[in-house]
Amino acid sequence: MTKLSVNINKIAVIRNSRGGNMPDVKKAALDCERFGAEGITVHPRPDGRHIKYSDVRIIKPLLSTEFNIEGNPISSFIDLVCEVCPAQVTLVPDARDAITSNAGWDVAGNAGFLSDVCRKFKSHGIRTSIFIDPKPEMALAAKEVGADRVEMYTEAYAANYAAGKEKAIEPYLATALTAKECGLGLNAGHDLSLENLEYFIQTIPWTDEVSIGHALICDALYMGLESTIKAYLSKIKKFD
């Protein structure tokens, strides 16, 4: 059964553009849960340009669903995650000045570092996922370094979907099969939308979780947050 985790970073972007607390990120997280989301995702960055470390500390004790914290495991991020102890941490190799995540890990090339980080988080009882490009060898390497799951970076799938969805999903299916065979859980995220989500889940129904933020919040501007979350859930749940 695939879960929908809503990334609320874009709500924080709007708040930060004016200062103050409008919209209220805490209320948005709770509303997402109330409207049916099965998880909340945040991606705090060192510059605090959207979700801030203080938001993470405030939101965690209020949630009744899974909390997923994404980010580059620099020392301050590691300390935050170990303090808050979410259900899941997703390791993303984004640079400090990255507008958004734009690549997965070279897991084998960073095996020593990622092994240490996975060990640290798992010692705190936190499920650890590694953000990877759709390459089977990256899933195998993630298993070797001790990850519990991988999250496939789905930007290329979304970008190529309209030109040919069957070809676009081929590397994702191959990677998902490898993850399944070696006992890794499977997440997916980045540019998944109402247009391309259904085919992804239909083809890879053992996906544990999709993390969706930008497209979902954009849709919510026109459809409303509750209707939008229900629309995304309808694309997922028909394959449960």
First-to-last C-alpha distance (Å) of the chain: 5
Q: Catalytic pick from 33, 50, 190, 209?
A: 190
Assess contact for 29 and 48: CB atoms under 8 A. Answer: no
User: What would the DSSP string read from start to end of 165-214?
Assistant: HHHHHHHHHHHHHHHHHTT-EEEEESS--TTTHHHHHHH-TT--EEEE-H
124 is catalytic: no
50 is catalytic: no
Q: Catalytic pick from 33, 50, 70, 151?
A: 70
For residues 69 and 81, give the distance between their C-alpha atoms in angstroms, rounded to a whole number: 7
43 is catalytic: yes
| DSSP class of 62 | G
Q: Catalytic pick from 33, 43, 50, 155?
A: 43
Positions annotated as catalytic residues are: 43, 70, 190
